[in-house]
Structure formats: C-alpha cells, structure tokens
Structure 1
C-alpha cells in the first residue's frame, strides 16, 4: 500500500488556535464551575498546550508514514503485462517470471500424389519459467506440442551466473552457439519453419558455456563445452565419452558509425570441433529435412559417425528501419563408417532470408515487429504487415552416394528451396503467418531420378506472452 504525505500549513494551525481561543472564555467558565480550586490557564499556557498537541499529532503522522514505507520496502511487486507475469522482491534482488508461446499451424502439400497428409497441429506449446536470485538465474521451458509426437520434452533447462556483462556462465540444456537462424528466438522467426542452415547445426545440447557482450552489446561472444549433439538433434543424454567445443563471435563493426545505413550490419563466425564415436544402434548422425519438415536425406542402415566432426558457420544480418536480411552458411565435415569402409564427408547448407514491413515499423533480430497501432476493427487500425522471401539449399557430399553411405533412390543429393510469405502482426502478442515454399531435388527417387517437387503451404496463429 502507498500513503500520501500530509502537511499541516501555518494557516491551518492559526485557524485552529483562533477557534480554540474563541471558545476559551466558555471553556474556562465550565472548568471554574466544576472546580473552584483549579487555577485558570493563561492564554500563553493554553497556546503552549495546543502547540504541544499539534507536535504530538505531527510526530504520530511521521511514525505512520515510516511504518508504511518500511512495509512497502518488504512487499514484493507483481507485474502483469504483454511480456507475461513477473514477481519481483522490493529490493529487486529476487525475481520469478512466467510466460508462454503457442503456435497453431496448418500444413498442406500440393501435387504430392496424395502421399503427404494435410493437417492442423499444435506445433509448439511452451510455457517458460524464469527466476533470479542476485546474480544467479535459471530458465526452464518444456515442450507440450509438436507435430511428430504428443509426448512432452524439455527444450531449455539451464542456470546462469553473471559477473559483469562481459563475463557470464551458463550450464544445462540450451542452444549451442551455432546457426544464426537457430539462435533466433522461436517467437521471432519470421517463417513457420526454419530454413536449410538449421539442418547442419544442433537443435539443443547439454553443456557449459561462457558468454558476454562488449561495447554496449555491439559485440558478443560464446564459447562452451558440450556433450556433442548431432545435426538437428535435441540432445538429452551424452552418447559417448567425447565432447564438442563450440564457439562464436558476432557483432556490428559499424554500430557507432555516422553512416546510418551501416549501423545495422552485423557479421560473425561460429564453429565446433569434436569427436563423435557412434555405433549401429546410436549412429550419432542426423537426417536432413525440407522447410516442409519432410526428410529428404538420411544415411543408410549400418552407417555411423566414427571420428572427428567439424562445423564452420559464417553468418551475417542487416537491419535498416523496416527492412531486414539474415544470411547463414554452414559446412560440416564428418567421419563416417560402414563396415570396413570409412570416409570423411562434407555437407553444406545455405539460408538467406529477407523481410520488409510494408506498414513502416522497424524490424530486428530480437523482439519481433511491434505494430504502431494494434489491430482494431472498430477503430480502423490494422496492425503491422511484413512480406518475406527466402532462398536456401542443403547439399550432401557426393561421396556419400558413390561410396555407399546413402542411396540416391531414397535420399536426394541436394534440396533447393524458394519461399515467400506474409506476416500480419495484430499486436506484439498475436501474429498470423502464411508461407509457401517450393523445394526441388537432385536424386532421391527410383533409379536415382529426381524426387518430385515439394510444394508446401503453411499457416500459423502465434500467441506470445
């Protein structure tokens, strides 16, 4: 509770004294009638007594205000807004927050010969719990949705400690620092499904990471030790005794430049090195998907990782007012084995994605588009509208097929996608997306012929809170 400070003006005190003095003769007569022995007070004594009583009242008011201030200092603050619900201790040392994201998607494939099923799916349902105690904090996010399984899984579960902005530590399950589009928050991705570059980086991994920022956030770094997740895999448990070292440096070299259009340019490089020793049961090899989430490449039966895996990931983004572009290129060198045959294969993926907010709002890597005016039918405001386009591909090392590690009759050697979309932001919390992607293949059908083109149309209603 809050109290408003009350002040006693000199005018009020004088008025009170005048009123009292006006009744002084009557008061004195009454006192004389009750006791003839009591000596009457002089005017000076009565004024002194009144001043004393006023001082007592003023001090009591001060004590009440001190008690109220003390109570307020111990009362936690609850804030409910567009970012969710957060409880904060009065001293700001402790926090606990709850927010959520829900994606309801519609998927449809054209000219697929009836082999793929059109569907409406709860693609993503994620409540997130965060907390802080001093410089230590945590994040826990389960996944309750998904198109492939109704079973729940853990997306993020980690703890952090912050010494200063430039030196922080994280431990648990989270995104390793690979893949620019993978690192973008799920609620901020402008497509219903991520592009080709995410094929060659982990989904989630378990490990330790040091990270931080310099120059007011213009430069960031991450370096960590991880169990070693295969491409596209959401890893929970380690599968061998080896670990991956992953690292990333990313920043805007012109962030403080006087040339405005250069300020939004950021470039960086990420990579990982490690040993992955699999077997025929736990191959530690990923399979690769189209934007429509259809597997177009997987290694043959009996093939498994058998040594060094190295990822290289140059990346860049550019944002200027209502225009943005994101570029992500990944190569993976992986030792594989099948029986007595062994080889090092190099797979590649590229994703270039652009966005243009035609209603004029700013676009960025974090936070999504914030409409200048929320959608309101009665007021005639329509939110923000964003047009998107992208190009990408995943290319498999030809030796994977010539040496027998995969078959061209069931896996494509290359998948190339072109996509267009529109995003309609009704508010910061509600977004509608409609996308179309066409993917062409090299190989992947009977006798090594090209697999049928994939025409994937998707829609999404996304709520973030």
Structure 2
C-alpha cells in the first residue's frame, strides 16, 4: 500500500495592501469632483440661460436706443433747421442788426450823438461879430437802414440836433435799387431817390462821425450846402469798384426849407475818385467834382421871379449860428463849382487837401461880370498809437481811425490817440476894390476867412470818441464904404460823441 501524503496546511490569511485604501480614497475624491463638476455644469447652464436673457434684454435696449437716437437726430435736424430759419441778431459796434438767414432782408438801428462845448474870443468885439460860447448838440440822429428782397435798400433818419435853434427835421429818407451788377456782386450799380447827403468832395466823403476835426473846412462845408448836404432831395446813380468811385445826382431842395411849389432849386452833383496806388500800409487818393445849381429857387409867387444865391459860411464851429463871411443875395441864374482833391495815408501818417472854384451866373441887367469865388485847405494827422486811415471805395474817401485796442483799465489799454492840423481858406471877394474906397460896380465884398486848426483826438473804442480843437481864425473884409470890418477869432472846443 502506498504511503500516504501529508495533509496540506490551510493558506495563510493575505496581508491588506495599503494602496487599496489610497485607491479607494482617490475614487471617493474623483466621485466628489465629478459631483462638483456636474454642479458647476448645472450652474454654467443656468448662468448661460441668464446671460441669454440678459443679451436678449440688451438687444431690446440697443434697438430702443437706436430708435431714440434716430428720433433725437430727426429732432436735432428739425431744431437746427428751425433755428437756421430764424433772423440773426448782432450787436457789432453796438449797432442792433437783424438779418434773415438768407440775407435778403435786414434792419439796423442807427444813432449818432455829438455834444459840443466851445469858448470863443473875438477881437475886436462888436455887435456884429459876437460869436457866442456855450454848448450844443451838433448832431443827435436816430434812424434805421434796411434791405428788402436782397436788391432794395432803404433808410430813414431823424435829426434832433443842429447849430442852435433848429427844430427836429428829416435827415435822410431814401429807397435804392442795387440789382444791376455789371462789375460783380460786391459792386452793384445803385439807383437812389429820396433825401440824403451825396458826397460832394473828399472831406464830404468821410463820415461826419470820423472826421479829423469838429467841422469840415469852411469851403467844403459851404459848397455841400449849396447843392448837396444833409436832407437834400434828389435822384441819381452811384457806382464803385475796388479802387474807384463815381456818382451823378440830380438834386432839389433841402427838406424843411420854405419854397414855392414847382419853383424849387434844381441842381446837380457829379464826382469821380480813384485809388491808383494801394498797399497794406498805404493809399493814394485822386478825385474831381463838378456840381452846381441849374436854377435857383424862385421865392416869389406869381408871374414875378426872384432867383438869388447867397454864399456864406460860419467859422468852423457850430455852437453859434453867426456867419462872418457872406456874399449877400446875388441875383443869379445858376452856379457851377469845380473841385480837385488829393490825399494819402502811409502807415500812421495822413495828408489831404482840396481846391475849389465857384462861378456864379448873374442874370441882372447891366451886370459887368459873373463873380468867381474859391477856397482850399490842407490837413494832416499823425496817429500816435499806429493806426492808419484806410481808403473806402463805398464813398470814395478815407475812413476814420479804428482803435487796435479798446480802452481797458484792467488791461492797461487806452485806445487810439491822434494829433491833427489844418489850414483852410474861403474867399468870397471878387472885384472888391481897395481899403478906403467904395465897392466897385458889381464888386462883392463877401470877405476872406483863414483858419488854423489844431486837434487832439482820443478814440477809446470804435463807438465813442473825443475831439479837442483849437482854432485861430482871421477875417479880412471891407464894408461898402471901404472900411475894415475884419476880426480875429480864437476858440477852443470839445466834442463828445457816440455813434453806431
């Protein structure tokens, strides 16, 4: 019998692997992370839904904003178009001006006020030459200018000042057509009718608000008063280019003067001016004029005729109405006045002068001759602050000073200062004879007036100015018997002015 095998011993218990615990722990962590990832996915999904809702709301808001912008843009354009259609209002140099958007209609309020104060001394003083001292509103004007339908201009001004004793009068009132433009849109041919002051000389072409002195030279002032001047009725044409000016005006009576209907004065003014040399710092002016009276006013009603001319003028002041040179009434059928003018500015220096000859046509029987009179002046100015007198083609003359800097105590600016001088002569003598003898037949002893004027002008700004003048005048005149009735005049005068 075979030998028996020994029985196998039972297997020993396995020793736990420590890695199994780690694996189990890792599995648990993975499951936890998976759960967290799932939670995050759920959260992201929920957030995505919220974001979609927000984007939808934002899209709606953007559409609403786009609609609002479009509506706002439409409203803006409507408001802009409505605003553009409104009249434009400006206050350039204190002048209220209203202009339509297309520029075809405009309306500007205008005013000039000049207040003068003067002291005058006459030697020898008599009852015939006692020129008063005092104050006077030389000019006090209020009115308006305007444009209608682009080509029509109009103006209406009242005058409330003068040389003492005047009542308010019409200064100017006219209509003008400026639709003919043979020399370009900026230089229309102007056809004007009404009452206005047609420039009759170089000095007259400078505005009375911009002159060097309180008054124009006596000879220029006298001539403008014969057939031109403020309130003179008439009709005529005016044309200018960049460097030239020409006018032709048929004139009548002055508004406010007495006269017999259909027998008023008839006259004319023609003038041409050129600016042949021009630069940034200089201008040269040359000009000439022919003007006169075609028929003097007939001051007698009925079949009789009384046509006379009286040439006379004040000293170059207007505080008093007294005239020291006068031809007296000359029975006349007409008059012609010829003028030559020249002037120039170079930097802040200004010089100008004019010469006039006046011929009077007598119509009285037995008159030996037709008298001739004349006069001239020369004047100059030096602007201490450097401003220049610039040539102006609108009137064929020079503009006044425009301060480069307006008066301001805060900035230490004082405006513009200017010194000026003038010598003028007006001769109303013809065939007047000699001292101690009676007036020759037909002779006229109207007198000769010479005046030296020195001025200091201050322009605080473009609206206000002050003029201080000193005058020394000499009158040479004989009476009918040949006696000397001349005199000397010394005067100091101050003008305070605003103009816009």
1:323 aligns with 2:349: yes
Gaps of 5+ in 1: 1-20, 29-41
Q: How much does 1:129 deviate?
A: 0.6
TM-score, structure 2 normalization: 0.75
Match of 1:311 in 2: 337
Identify if the C-alpha distance between structure 1 residues 60 and 278 changes in structure 2 by more than 3 Å, giving closer, same or farther: closer
Determine which of 120, 134, 148 is the counterpart of 2:164.
Answer: 148
Identify if the C-alpha distance between structure 1 residues 346 and 220 changes in structure 2 by more than 3 Å, giving closer, same or farther: same
CA RMSD in angstroms comes to 3.0
Between the two proteins, the alignment pairs up a number of residues equal to 416
Identify if the C-alpha distance between structure 1 residues 83 and 323 changes in structure 2 by more than 3 Å, giving closer, same or farther: farther
The answer (yes or no) to whether the contact 1:157–1:173 under 8 Å persists in 2 is yes
Q: How much does 1:26 deviate?
A: 9.2
Determine which of 117, 137, 142 is the counterpart of 1:122.
Answer: 137
Gaps of 5+ in 2: 1-45, 182-186, 301-306, 391-396, 433-438
Determine which of 402, 418, 422 is the counterpart of 2:440.
Answer: 402
CA distance in 1, matches of 2:65, 2:204: 69
1:38-437 aligned at under 5 Å gives the runs 49-50=60-61, 52-112=63-123, 113=125, 115-133=130-148, 134-163=150-179, 164=181, 165-196=187-218, 197-202=220-225, 203-204=229-230, 205-214=232-241, 217-227=242-252, 240=263, 243-255=266-278, 263-279=282-298, 283-293=308-318, 294-300=322-328, 303-337=329-363, 341=367, 343-364=369-390, 366-399=398-431, 401-404=439-442, 406=444, 408=445, 411-412=446-447, 414-437=448-471
CA distance in 1, matches of 2:156, 2:348: 33
| SS at 2:408 equivalent | coil
CA distance in 1, matches of 2:49, 2:198: 85
Q: How much does 1:338 deviate?
A: 5.7
TM-score, structure 1 normalization: 0.80
CA distance in 1, matches of 2:116, 2:92: 26
Identify if the C-alpha distance between structure 1 residues 101 and 278 changes in structure 2 by more than 3 Å, giving closer, same or farther: closer
Identify if the C-alpha distance between structure 1 residues 93 and 166 changes in structure 2 by more than 3 Å, giving closer, same or farther: closer
The answer (yes or no) to whether the contact 2:430–2:443 under 8 Å persists in 1 is no
4+ long deviations beyond 6 Å: 21-24, 45-48, 233-239
Match of 2:474 in 1: 440
Identify if the C-alpha distance between structure 1 residues 225 and 464 changes in structure 2 by more than 3 Å, giving closer, same or farther: same
Match of 1:38 in 2: none
Identify if the C-alpha distance between structure 1 residues 278 and 52 changes in structure 2 by more than 3 Å, giving closer, same or farther: closer
Deviates more, 1:432-441 or 1:360-369: 360-369
CA distance in 1, matches of 2:48, 2:217: 89
Q: How much does 1:278 deviate?
A: 4.2
Identify if the C-alpha distance between structure 1 residues 234 and 394 changes in structure 2 by more than 3 Å, giving closer, same or farther: farther
Give the greater-gyration-radius structure (CA). Answer: 2
Q: How much does 1:375 deviate?
A: 2.5
